[in-house]
């Protein structure tokens, strides 16, 4: 074996780093895409939060402490849930096929893309927190940092599942968006992200109890409030890690089978 052969042999850690760098370059060159993707959560923050404040009769800070963590999870849900469309575009243009014949570990193509989702999640979450701060929102600093890590892990899992869906619906973009939209809105509503589920029908509360998004939302609220030892934090981490593990396993298998 020559030195050249050794250099081009696939290496998961090195190849993942290279794919991650490649995927982050467009984000760095065009940061306005991050700002534009904040439009939807800002609309909810600006138009939906005042309704909750007026209806609850509680101080704005207390309502925002309940609402903002849900908005941050919404960013992850909508942002990473749509990332598979980028892979579909690459498949349609042929660039994905070119990466498949490159001397890269195929699993690195999925892992690198999934890890790339961490940067937008952290930046967007911090922007939302800073915007809400002058209106009475406050968060425990340590809880905020742990909450961001939780969002990052959850986002890696959701991003991996989105890429898996893109691979499964190759050349059928309409099917990708149909499945994505059909799943994302029930997960959102049944997470108590926007409205409490305390007075919801029993069947809705039963479904919400097995919805991983619901546990991540509850964990974020507890963390931001400084209740680091709350049991919902444990269940939030269990849910996020489970989604990440399942997403990476399914995604790696899908990309290894892709042609």
Task: Say what the pLDDT of residue 234 is.
Answer: 97
Task: Say what the pLDDT of residue 56 is.
Answer: 61
Task: Say what the pLDDT of residue 88 is.
Answer: 83
Residue 214 in contact with residue 238, Cβ under 8 Å? no
Helix crossing, 141-168 with 212-224: angle to 10°? 160
Task: Say what the pLDDT of residue 257 is.
Answer: 81
DSSP one-letter code for 48: I
Task: Say what the pLDDT of residue 6 is.
Answer: 45
Task: Say what the pLDDT of residue 249 is.
Answer: 92
Task: Say what the pLDDT of residue 44 is.
Answer: 80
Per-residue pLDDT tens digits for 91-149: 887 777 777 777 777 788 888 888 888 888 888 899 899 989 988 888 999 999 999 99
pTM: 0.86
Q: Which residues lie below 8 Å from residue 124, measured CB to CB, with a gap of 6+?
A: 34, 37, 38, 41, 75, 79
Task: Say what the pLDDT of residue 173 is.
Answer: 81
Rounded to the nearest angstrom, the gap between the alpha carbon of residue 146 and the centroid of all alpha carbons in its chain is: 15
What are the tokens at 44? 């909810």
List the chain residues with pLDDT less than 50.
Answer: 1-7
How many Cβ atoms sit within 10 Å of the Cβ of residue 79?
22
């Amino acid at each position: 074996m020559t030195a050249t052969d050794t250099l081009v042999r696939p290496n998961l850690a090195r190849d993942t780093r290279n794919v991650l760098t490649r995927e982050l370059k467009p984000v760095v060159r065009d940061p306005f895409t991050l700002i534009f993707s904040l439009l939807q959560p800002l609309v909810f923050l600006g138009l939906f939060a005042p309704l909750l404040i007026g209806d609850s009769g509680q101080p704005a800070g207390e309502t925002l402490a309940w609402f903002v963590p849900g908005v941050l999870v919404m960013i992850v849900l909508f942002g990473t849930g749509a990332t598979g469309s980028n892979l579909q575009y690459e498949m349609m243009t042929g660039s994905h096929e070119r990466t498949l014949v490159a001397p890269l570990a195929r699993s690195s193509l999925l892992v690198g893309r999934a890890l790339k989702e961490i940067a937008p999640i952290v930046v967007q979450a911090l922007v939302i927190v800073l915007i809400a701060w002058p209106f009475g929102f406050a968060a425990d600093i340590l809880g905020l940092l742990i909450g961001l890590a939780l969002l990052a892990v959850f986002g890696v899992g959701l991003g991996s599942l989105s890429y898996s869906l893109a691979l499964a619906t190759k050349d059928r973009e309409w099917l990708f968006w149909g499945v994505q939209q059909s799943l994302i809105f029930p997960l959102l509503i049944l997470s108590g992200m926007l409205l409490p589920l305390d007075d919801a029908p029993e069947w809705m509360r039963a479904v919400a109890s097995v919805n991983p998004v619901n546990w991540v939302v509850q964990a974020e609220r507890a963390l931001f409030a400084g209740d680091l030892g709350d049991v919902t934090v444990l269940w939030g981490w269990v849910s996020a890690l489970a989604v990440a593990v399942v997403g990476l396993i399914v995604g790696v298998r899908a990309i290894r089978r892709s042609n």
